[in-house]
């Protein structure tokens, strides 16, 4: 499945050690100070996600807004990053705000099902693939949260995921419906190497 024109998506399997990633990325002095305050695994995630963005949008200088959301100076292309386990993920979009999420497959998501799934979401859960369904839903809502770019979002009340088939990849609908902001989306997901990634394919 190809991305929409103006959109690029990439994944980085983290096999390098920290020193190798530092040499590849060459962080700024400010980023070095920030990295010193992170756990080793988070440093690997930070460096690999930034390398992905450099690959997808060479020459773009990163900054953060007041909510802590990363963006390129000048605000285009729009971007989103995520990381989990030994993978980082990134998406850039020349036209619209976007979002991506990657999670490690596992049963931990079962513990928070009632915190982010509403009744319509739960009707789409296949009990034979319970954890996978929840991770796809969580990834979709996390991606929409990043698209919105502001705080005070209730994952259960303000976002709903449409039905989908479980497999190695697929597309499905989702809606962001916080008062004052109503938007429908087509989402896309992929399952690989013990991870599930979900991102915004297009806005409707």
Q: How far apart are CA 188 and CA 91, in angstroms?
A: 12
Residue 163: the pLDDT is 97
Is the previous residue joined to 77 through a cis bond, with omega within 30 degrees of 0? yes
Residue 186: the pLDDT is 97
Residue 82: the pLDDT is 95
Q: Going by DSSP bridges, is the β-strand pair 169-178/195-203 parallel, antiparallel, or unpaired?
A: unpaired
Residue 81: the pLDDT is 93
Task: Tell me the pLDDT of the chain (204 aa) as tens digits.
Answer: 667 778 999 999 999 999 999 999 988 888 899 899 999 999 999 999 989 988 887 666 676 666 666 667 666 678 999 999 999 999 999 889 999 999 999 999 999 999 999 999 999 999 999 999 999 999 999 999 999 988 899 999 999 999 999 999 999 999 999 999 999 999 999 999 999 999 999 999
CATH of domain 100-203: 3.90.470
Which candidate, 79, 198, 72, places its Cα nearest to that of 133?
198
Residue 75: the pLDDT is 61
CATH superfamily of 7-93: 4'-phosphopantetheinyl transferase domain (3.90.470.20)
Residue 200: the pLDDT is 97
Q: Please give the order of strands across the beta sheet that includes 100-104.
A: 100-104, 195-203, 181-192, 169-178, 159-161
Q: Where in the chain is the domain with CATH 3.90.470.20?
A: 7-93
Residue 5: the pLDDT is 78
- The angle that helices 29-36 and 40-56 make with each other, rounded to 10 degrees, is 150
């Amino acid at each position: 499945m190809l991305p929409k024109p103006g959109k690029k998506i990439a994944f980085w399997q983290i096999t390098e050690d920290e020193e190798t990633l530092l040499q590849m990325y060459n962080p700024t002095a400010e980023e070095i100070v920030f990295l010193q305050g992170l756990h080793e695994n988070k440093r690997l995630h930070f460096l690999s996600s930034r390398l992905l963005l450099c690959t997808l949008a060479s020459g773009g200088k990163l900054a953060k807004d007041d909510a802590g959301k990363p963006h390129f100076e000048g605000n285009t292309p729009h971007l989103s990053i995520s990381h989990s386990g030994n993978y980082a993920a990134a998406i850039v979009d020349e036209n619209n705000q976007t979002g991506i999420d990657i999670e490690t497959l596992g049963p931990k998501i079962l513990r928070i099902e009632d915190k982010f799934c509403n009744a319509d979401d739960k009707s789409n859960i296949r009990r034979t693939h319970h954890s996978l369904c929840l991770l796809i839903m969580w990834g979709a809502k996390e991606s929409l949260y990043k698209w919105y770019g502001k705080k005070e979002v209730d994952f259960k009340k303000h976002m709903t995921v449409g039905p989908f088939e479980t497999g190695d990849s697929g597309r499905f609908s989702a809606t962001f419906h916080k008062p004052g902001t109503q938007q429908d989306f087509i989402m896309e997901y992929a399952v690989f190497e013990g991870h599930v990634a979900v991102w915004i394919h297009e806005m409707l």
